[in-house]
């Protein structure tokens, strides 16, 4: 029929229009900031420092080995090693970072610092709502802003965090001083006569 | 408050206000009092239409429209207005300063002048010209000059190209526009819009005498609406301002308030031609059924205008853009013959005695050439092997 | 009434004076358009509605567009032109004065009637006259326009390629 294409098109758009009020699954828009799209587990944005326990400064896993600072490609990590030592999670006295700054306006989220850290102390965060009003001061994150608890790490990357926890627990079990062996049971070996 | 008082409330208010003015100043105050409501109402309608269009197009495309500013996004025009007022006015250094400045003004002026002869309600027309329809088409031809001025003065290739296309399109579609309304002039014997509406405001068995309910009126209405869509550069005829093709064409070098003025002028032109279509074909301010005449006449006019605007938005969301040559072919090879056949059919209707025979004859006389023309135009479009001709 | 006439006359004269003395061709045409609109307004002042609106429809809507198209096609988006007035504006003034003198003498030397009553010609009457009295000139004009249209189509048609 002449004009059929136009009429079918008009019917289609009318169906779209009225259907969008009736069935909600026609509208795939996610209304940010009221709703958020679900993130996949491997999403990452900028690094953060993991701490165990409740005290952010005492429980920091970082021992200020400075490997991440050396490996960072755009050199956005600035660490100052402390002069004294404090005990770590196992009890061994370790250095700690007196200053740990990351310039997130420079950081390119390459994750190299995470890959080289031998202590599982720095991991990738996925918070992206980091708008600030100043370009230089507010985008330099210091130790207080970077320290986040291990529970938070479990929230954002559950699989990774479980693996890290298991590895750390195994390492601590191996490193812990062995308990004294139980007194030897009287053996049945014949005494030398 | 009788229905008649509510219907004539604006006229009564105006006469009451005029009573307070000394009689020497009465003509000019009367003119001001008639014009100011138009200057207030139609830009407001423009604001509502922009947000309706964005939300409507959004829903058609399975997404929300703007929904952040105000309740459900309906204060979006306020935000748009503030944005366009505070944007920096960038004028190219090599642009023709005077012409560049005057082009949007001329467009908006021509668009506003078109409302002078539209009867918005019973006894509510700004000036009842004897040659009202001719005045409307004369004003419409000033719009093309404004478009050309805008494209020329920017001294940029894209704007000049856009202006040439736009003027060619508007000139081509002006002829079917005028010829489609010639049928109405023939039927009513008058060029005055008030007389045309009054001839349609009668009812037979509670059905109105609108001209759209006759075969030639219906065909004329369709042709008029297509030509009106092309005259206001609206999708699917918006190649001159196609955002994805020529980046806004003839008003590419305009920013800020002047861009908003172009937008305003284009939409006002759309409202004016819709208003004229309502006046000529859809019975102006008259109610659809005789038992609904208690509703004020201006409400009917604006209701019909809203329906036509929704149809415009609907078509914009549905049809793809026409190419320039497809546009011109449609105007000259299809619509011009159809309007001429329509005139002939209307004459036949006038001279045949009333009855089912003239319905059949006129409908056949319109439908058969329509089908023949469209099939005939499609015949020549066989896909051919492309040959290239290189410049020597 | 005379105030309106003076204003419209001033606009018309300014427009046409600018049309003869401006340098850029597009500016001349736009100024001429202002003059033509002023003329249409003068027709409306005299009560000739049909002629006034047809003046706008034909001159502004068609002739001016034709002229700007011609300039646009031939000159292109031109160079920035510094001086506003053209260099031979005295010649324009001279010609205008000469034409004015001749017209003024012609108008003055016609015998003056008393002020005629304004004829009330409606579009109906113009239409009726065109169809009864002046139908032959109407048909001849139609023929002329058809010939022009056919000529335009022939000019714009692509040339037939010779069979290779």
Helix, coil or strand: residue A18:
helix
| Residue B96 with chain C: CB contacts under 8 Å | 24, 26-27
Edge to edge, the sheet with strand A77-81 lists A77-81, A97-103, A140-141
DSSP for C68-135, please give it. Answer: HHHHHHHH-S------SB-TTHHHHHHHHHHHHHHHHHHHHHSPPPPPPPPP---HHHHHHHHHHTTH
Averaged pLDDT, A154-158: 92
Averaged pLDDT, A159-177: 87
Q: Any long-range contacts for B374-379 (C-beta under 8 Å, 24+ apart)?
A: B374/A2, B374/B334, B375/A2, B377/B329, B377/B333, B377/B334
Averaged pLDDT, C58-75: 85
Q: Are A113 and A68 in contact (CB under 8 A)?
A: yes
Q: Are A161 and A153 in contact (CB under 8 A)?
A: yes
- Length of chain A, in residues: 193
Measured between alpha carbons, how far is residue A107 from residues A48, A58, A70, A101, A104 in Å?
Answer: 12, 26, 14, 11, 5
Helices (H) and strands (E) in chain C, counts: 7, 0
Q: Are B377 and B329 in contact (CB under 8 A)?
A: yes
Confidence grade of residue A7 (pLDDT, cut at 50, 70, 90): very high
Report d(CA B263, CA A57) in Å as an integer: 60
Which chains are within 8 Å of B by 3+ CB pairs?
Answer: A, C
Domain ranges of chain C: 1-76, 121-156
Measured between alpha carbons, how far is residue B136 from residues A5, A144, B274, B306, C54 in Å?
Answer: 34, 72, 12, 21, 11
Give the model's pLDDT for residue B233. Answer: 85
Find the helix or strand (DSSP H, E) in which A148 lies: strand A147-149
Helix, coil or strand: residue A9:
helix
Measured between alpha carbons, how far is residue A155 from residues A40, A161, A162, B73, B258 in Å?
Answer: 12, 9, 10, 36, 53
Q: What is the dihedral of CA B91, B94, B97, B99, to 10 degrees?
A: -110
How many residue contacts between B and C have a Cβ separation below 8 Å? Answer: 75
Find the helix or strand (DSSP H, E) in which A149 lies: strand A147-149
Percent of residues, chain C, with pLDDT higher than 70? 84
Q: Are A84 and A28 in contact (CB under 8 A)?
A: no
Q: Do C57 and B138 touch (CB under 8 A)?
A: yes
| Residue C26 with chain B: CB contacts under 8 Å | 96, 99, 152
Report d(CA A17, CA B202) in Å as an integer: 36
Closest residue in A to B315 (Cα) is A10
Give the model's pLDDT for residue B277. Answer: 95
Return the number of other C-beta atoms located less than 10 Å from residue A2's C-beta: 12
Q: Are A147 and A48 in contact (CB under 8 A)?
A: yes
Closest residue in B to A33 (Cα) is B68
How many residue contacts between A and B have a Cβ separation below 8 Å? Answer: 38
Region of B386 please: left (phi>0), alpha (psi -120 to 50) or beta.
beta
Instruction: Give yes or no for residue A166 having a pLDDT over 90.
Output: yes
Report d(CA C164, CA C145) in Å as an integer: 37
Chain A: give the shortest CA distance to residue B233, in Å: 19
Percent of residues, chain A, with pLDDT higher than 90? 46
Q: Do A14 and B61 touch (CB under 8 A)?
A: no
Averaged pLDDT, A39-68: 89
Please list, in sequence order, all residues whose beta carbon lies within 8 angstroms of the beta carbon of residue C144, skipping any fewer than 6 positions away.
none
Q: Are C46 and C1 in contact (CB under 8 A)?
A: no
Q: Do B96 and C56 touch (CB under 8 A)?
A: no
Instruction: Give yes or no for residue A162 having a pLDDT over 70.
Output: yes
Q: Do B134 and C30 touch (CB under 8 A)?
A: no
> Does the beta carbon of B377 lie under 8 angstroms from any beta carbon of chain A?
no
Measured between alpha carbons, how far is residue C143 from residues C136, C139, C146 in Å?
Answer: 11, 6, 5
Q: Which two tokens stand for residue A193?
A: 């006569």
Domain A47-173: give its CATH code.
3.30.70.3270
Report d(CA B195, CA B183) in Å as an integer: 15
pLDDT per residue of chain B (392 residues) written in tens, 0 to 9:
788 888 888 899 999 998 888 888 888 899 999 999 999 999 999 999 999 999 999 999 998 889 888 898 899 999 999 999 898 888 888 888 888 889 999 999 999 999 999 999 888 899 888 889 999 999 988 888 888 888 888 777 777 777 888 888 999 999 999 999 999 999 898 889 999 999 988 888 767 888 999 999 999 999 999 999 998 888 788 877 765 555 656 777 777 888 899 889 999 999 999 999 999 999 889 888 888 888 898 999 999 999 999 999 999 999 988 888 888 889 999 999 999 999 999 999 999 888 888 899 999 999 999 988 888 877 766 667 778 888 87
Q: Are B18 and B29 in contact (CB under 8 A)?
A: yes
Residue C135 burial by Cβ neighbours in a 10 Å radius (0-12, 13-18, 19+): exposed
> Does the beta carbon of B148 lie under 8 angstroms from any beta carbon of chain C?
yes
Report d(CA C12, CA C8) in Å as an integer: 6
Residue B169 burial by Cβ neighbours in a 10 Å radius (0-12, 13-18, 19+): buried
Find the CB nearest A2 among B61, B64, B371: B371
Chain B: give the shortest CA distance to residue C29, in Å: 11
- Length of chain B, in residues: 392
Give the model's pLDDT for residue B248. Answer: 58
| Residue C69 with chain B: CB contacts under 8 Å | 164, 167
Would you say the C-alpha torsion B131, B132, B133, B137 has a positive or negative sign? positive
Chain B: give the shortest CA distance to residue A80, in Å: 46
Closest residue in C to B141 (Cα) is C61
Q: Are strands B203-204 and B207-208 parallel, antiparallel or unpaired?
A: antiparallel
Across A44-128, the runs of DSSP E, i.e. the strands, are: 47-51, 77-81, 86-87, 93-94, 97-103, 122-124
* Chain A residues within 8 Å of chain B (Cβ atoms): 2, 6, 9-10, 12-14, 16-17, 20-21, 26-29, 31
Give the model's pLDDT for residue A56. Answer: 83
Touching, A vs C (3+ Cβ pairs under 8 A) = no
Closest residue in C to B143 (Cα) is C61
The topology under which CATH files domain C1-76 is 1.20.120
Give the model's pLDDT for residue C80. Answer: 56
**Nearest 5°: phi and psi at A48?**
-145, 165
Residue B236: asked if its preceding bond is cis (omega within 30°), the reply is yes
* Chain C residues within 8 Å of chain B (Cβ atoms): 24, 26-27, 30, 33, 49-50, 53-54, 56-57, 60-62, 64-65, 68-69, 72, 76-78, 80, 122-124
Which B-chain residues 43-72 have CB contacts (< 8 A) with chain A?
56, 59-64, 67
Q: Which two tokens stand for residue B352?
A: 């045949």
Helix, coil or strand: residue C30:
helix
Domain ranges of chain A: 47-173
Measured between alpha carbons, how far is residue B64 from residues A17, A28, B60, B69, B310 in Å?
Answer: 10, 9, 9, 13, 17
Return the number of other C-beta atoms located less than 10 Å from residue C84's C-beta: 12
Q: Are A21 and B58 in contact (CB under 8 A)?
A: no
- 3-state DSSP helix/strand/coil % of chain A, to nearest 5: 30, 15, 55
B284-313: burial string, b at 16+ Cβ within 10 Å, e else? bbbbbeeeebeebbbebbbebbeebbeebb
Residues in a beta bridge with A101 = A78
Closest residue in C to B155 (Cα) is C77
Averaged pLDDT, A156-165: 92
Would you say the C-alpha torsion B320, B321, B325, B326 has a positive or negative sign? positive
| Residue B59 with chain A: CB contacts under 8 Å | 16-17, 20-21
Give the model's pLDDT for residue A180. Answer: 66
> Does the beta carbon of B389 lie under 8 angstroms from any beta carbon of chain A?
no
* Region of poorest pLDDT, from A160-174, B251-265, C92-106, C145-159: B251-265
Residues in a beta bridge with A124 = A47
Give the model's pLDDT for residue A104. Answer: 92
Residues in a beta bridge with A77 = A102
**Nearest 5°: phi and psi at A99?**
-135, 135
């Amino acid at each position: 029929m002449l004009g059929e294409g136009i009429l079918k098109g008009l019917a289609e758009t009318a169906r779209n229009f009225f259907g969008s009020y009736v069935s909600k699954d026609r509208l795939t828009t996610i209304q940010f900031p009221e709703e958020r799209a679900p993130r996949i587990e491997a999403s990452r944005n900028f690094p953060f420092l993991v701490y165990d326990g409740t005290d952010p400064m005492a429980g920091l896993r970082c021992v200020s080995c400075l490997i991440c600072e050396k490996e960072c490609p755009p050199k956005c990590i600035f660490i100052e090693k402390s002069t004294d030592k404090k005990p770590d999670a196992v009890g061994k006295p370790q250095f700690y970072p007196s200053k740990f700054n990351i310039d997130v306006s420079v950081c390119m989220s390459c994750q190299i610092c995470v890959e080289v850290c031998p202590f599982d102390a720095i991991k990738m965060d996925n918070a992206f709502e980091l708008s600030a009003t100043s370009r230089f001061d507010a985008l330099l994150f210091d130790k207080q802003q970077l320290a986040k608890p291990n529970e938070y790490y479990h929230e954002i990357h559950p699989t990774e965090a479980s693996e890290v926890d298991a590895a750390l627990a195994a390492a601590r079990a191996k490193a812990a001083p062995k308990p004294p062996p139980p007194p030897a049971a009287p053996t049945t070996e014949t005494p030398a006569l | 408050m009788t229905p008649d008082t509510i219907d004539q409330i604006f006229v009564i208010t105006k006469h009451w206000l005029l009573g307070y003015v000394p009689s020497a100043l009465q003509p000019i105050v009367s003119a001001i009092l008639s014009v100011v409501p138009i200057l207030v109402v139609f830009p407001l309608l423009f604001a509502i239409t922009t947000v309706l269009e964005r939300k409507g197009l959004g829903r058609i495309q399975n997404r929300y429209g703007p929904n952040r500013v105000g309740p459900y996004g309906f204060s979006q025009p306020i935000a748009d207005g503030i944005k366009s007022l505070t944007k920096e006015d960038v004028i190219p250094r090599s642009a023709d300063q005077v012409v560049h400045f005057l082009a949007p003004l001329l467009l908006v002026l021509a668009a506003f002048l078109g409302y002078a002869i539209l009867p918005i309600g019973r006894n509510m027309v700004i000036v009842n010209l004897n040659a009202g329809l001719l005045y409307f088409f004369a004003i419409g031809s000033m719009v093309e000059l404004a478009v050309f001025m805008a494209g020329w003065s920017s001294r940029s290739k894209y704007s000049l190209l856009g202006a040439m296309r736009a003027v060619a399109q508007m000139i081509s579609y002006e002829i079917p526009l005028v010829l489609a309304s010639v049928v109405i002039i023939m039927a009513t014997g008058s060029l005055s819009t008030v007389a045309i509406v009054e001839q349609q405001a009668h009812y037979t068995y509670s059905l109105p005498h609108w001209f759209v309910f006759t075969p030639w009126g219906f065909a004329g209405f369709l042709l008029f609406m297509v030509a009106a869509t092309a005259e206001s550069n609206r999708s699917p005829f918006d190649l001159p301002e196609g955002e994805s093709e020529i980046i806004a064409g003839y008003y590419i070098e305009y920013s800020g308030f002047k861009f908003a003025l172009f937008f305003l002028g284009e939409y006002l032109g759309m409202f004016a031609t819709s208003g004229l279509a309502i006046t000529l074909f859809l019975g102006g301010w008259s109610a659809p059924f005789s038992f609904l005449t208690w509703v004020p006449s201006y409400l009917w006019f604006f209701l019909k205008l809203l329906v036509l605007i929704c149809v415009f938005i609907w078509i914009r969301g549905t049809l793809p853009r026409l190419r320039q040559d497809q546009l011109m072919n449609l105007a000259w090879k299809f619509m011009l013959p159809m309007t001429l056949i329509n005139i002939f059919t209307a004459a036949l209707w006038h001279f045949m005695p009333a009855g089912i025979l003239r319905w059949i004859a006129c409908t056949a006389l319109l439908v058969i050439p329509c089908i023949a023309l469209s099939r005939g135009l499609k015949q020549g479009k066989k896909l051919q092997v492309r040959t290239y001709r290189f410049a020597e | 009434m005379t105030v309106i006439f003076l204003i419209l006359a001033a606009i018309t004269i300014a427009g046409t004076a600018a049309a003869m003395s401006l340098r850029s061709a597009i500016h001349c045409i736009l100024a001429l358009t202002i003059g033509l609109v002023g003329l249409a307004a003068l027709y409306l002042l005299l009560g000739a509605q049909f002629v006034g609106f047809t003046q706008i429809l034909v001159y502004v809507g068609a002739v001016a567009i034709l002229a700007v198209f011609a300039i646009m096609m031939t000159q292109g988006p031109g160079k920035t032109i510094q001086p506003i007035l053209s260099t031979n504006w005295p010649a324009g003034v001279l010609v205008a004065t000469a034409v004015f003198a001749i017209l003024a003498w012609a108008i003055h030397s016609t015998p003056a009637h008393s002020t005629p009553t304004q004829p009330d010609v409606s579009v109906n009457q113009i239409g009726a006259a065109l169809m009864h009295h002046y139908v032959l000139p109407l048909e001849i004009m139609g023929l002329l326009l058809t010939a022009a249209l056919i000529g335009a189509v022939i000019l714009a048609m692509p040339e037939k390629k010779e069979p290779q």
